[in-house]
Amino acid sequence: MEKIDFLPQDNVIWGRDILADTLGQLHQHGIKKPMLFTVEPLDLLRRNFVAPYLSDCVGTFLDLPPHVPDSAVLQALEACEASGAKSIVAVGGGSVLDAAKAVSHFHQVRHGTYLPIAALPTTLSGSEFSHYFGVTETTHEIKFKRSYAVKQTVPKLVIVDPVLVRGTPRTLLLSSAIKGIDHAVEGMRLVGTDHPHAILAASGVRRFLRVLRKWPANVDTEVAIQRRDVDLDDLLQLQLAAWQCYFFPASVIYGLSHRIGHILGGTYGVPHSVTSCITLAPVIRACSSFYGEKLRIFNDAESGVDAAAQLSAEIEDVVAQLGLPARLRDLEFEHDKLTAVARLLDKYYPREVADLGEDATQKLTDLLERLW
């Protein structure tokens, strides 16, 4: 038996030049007296394209480090409490959106009500469509990024406009697209090829790859637009691909690539979006027996062709073409940390490690060596 679990997400509004008009109608979506969450590098976007249209904004919170440390969540929650905020407008990528969800959740724990969220995503990982979020616990000897799944924290409103991603740094933008593909592929872990996730995710991956394959190497987005290598419609296609790859997050459970990314990011500070560039293709190959023929939906591989090998090669090719990090050594990650990474994965994510099959512990060690 298969099923779909829906999230209480009211509206997704997308298109070119729709941001200002939609922000002017936030009251109609239940977003009142919002606290604006973002980060310092996005402050120009906030000041030029967001803040002028938030008539009743009660303040701005900028101190939101990557991987959502628990101390930042507490400070952001206290800022919302002190200002009397009734909602959150989150402008940013996965870390900003995770922080907004975490604050909404802990507001409910303290006060009995969630803070509704309007999401303005500036990356392509798709966090704005999910109820998942991570908080890095910093009080223990070893930091650990704990995962939460709280349906009531999914953003009530998502606004998708190319202007939101136009200024996103190149590596962050393009690596987050690989994270989006990761959602599509590992979303197949416990569903079949006739599940709506599979159908939409396959479309999303094709949409992603179609745009990424023509993206120029070593050129910032603005320069690429001026040279007409890509245009605003291409940016919108990437944003829509992120949505398709992550359309039914409450119906899927993600796998080893994501879990390795949580350890690399939360414990060791590897940039969240970059982790999938390093982990996804090798994990696809290592877990090919577990996924079996299901991965054929992503590439329409002919009978007799190894669908996992073909898909992983396509991902590796586009990562290399875009000049994104492909190995942990590219990030100066110390080799002697791999043993601790394996130990944390075995401890916290044994089911995902088991996807490697027989002798999974040794296969995990071998896999991490390949990632390095």
In a domain, 233, yes or no: yes
Give SS3 for 59.
Answer: strand
Q: How many CA atoms lie within 13 A of 204 on its CB side?
A: 29
The predicted pLDDT at position 173 comes to 95
Tokens read off for 17? 């030049």
What b/e readout covers 187-199, taking b as 16+ CB neighbours within 10 angstroms? bbbebeeebebbe
- Quick one: 147 and 258 in the same domain? no
- Quick one: 83 and 146 in the same domain? yes
In a domain, 292, yes or no: yes
Complete DSSP assignment for 183-243: HHHHTTTTS-TTSHHHHHHHHHHHHHHHHHTTPPTT--HHHHHHTTSS-HHHHHHHHHHHH
- Quick one: 144 and 184 in the same domain? no
- Quick one: 215 and 183 in the same domain? yes
Tokens read off for 359? 């002798």
Contacts of 320 (CB under 8 A, 6+ apart): 326
Between the two ends of the chain, the Cα-to-Cα distance in Å is 39
- Quick one: 189 and 218 in the same domain? yes
- Quick one: 246 and 274 in the same domain? yes
**Cβ distance 240 to 14 under 8 Å?**
yes
- Quick one: 36 and 155 in the same domain? yes
Distance between CA atoms of residues 246 and 36, nearest Å:
24
Place of tokens 């992603």: 208
DSSP code at position 35: E
Helix (H), strand (E) at residue 261: helix 256-262
| Domain-terminating residue out of 137, 166, 195 | 166
In a domain, 281, yes or no: yes
Tokens read off for 169? 């740094």
In a domain, 4, yes or no: no
Number of structural domains, the chain?
Answer: 2
What single letter denotes the amino acid at residue 117? I
- Quick one: 96 and 242 in the same domain? no
- Quick one: 197 and 145 in the same domain? no
* Region at 354 (left for phi over 0; alpha for psi -120 to 50; beta for the rest): alpha
| Domain-terminating residue out of 149, 166, 183 | 166
The predicted pLDDT at position 266 comes to 80
**Cβ distance 371 to 328 under 8 Å?**
yes
- Quick one: 237 and 156 in the same domain? no
Tokens read off for 64? 């939101």
How many C-beta neighbours within 10 Å does residue 173 have?
23
- Quick one: 161 and 302 in the same domain? no
Helix (H), strand (E) at residue 60: strand 59-61
In a domain, 360, yes or no: yes
Distance between CA atoms of residues 85 and 116, nearest Å:
10
In a domain, 3, yes or no: no
In a domain, 1, yes or no: no
Contacts of 330 (CB under 8 A, 6+ apart): 278
DSSP code at position 69: B
pLDDT block averages, 10 residues each, the chain of length 372: 90 97 95 96 93 94 89 96 97 94 97 98 95 88 84 97 95 95 95 94 96 92 93 97 95 93 87 91 95 88 74 96 94 94 95 95 96 95
- Residues 116, 122, 125, 126: is their CA dihedral positive or negative? positive
Which domain, by its residues, includes 228?
A: 170-371
Q: Which one, of 214, 48, 183, 174, lies nearest residue 120 by Cα?
A: 48
- Quick one: 162 and 198 in the same domain? no
| Residue 259, domain CATH | 1.20.1090.10
Q: How far is CA 28 from the centre of its chain?
A: 27
| Domain-terminating residue out of 132, 148, 166 | 166
| Residue 145, domain CATH | 3.40.50.1970
In a domain, 46, yes or no: yes
Dihedrals phi, psi of 266, to nearest 5 degrees: -65, -40
Q: How many CA atoms lie within 13 A of 68 on its CB side?
A: 27
**Cβ distance 291 to 188 under 8 Å?**
yes
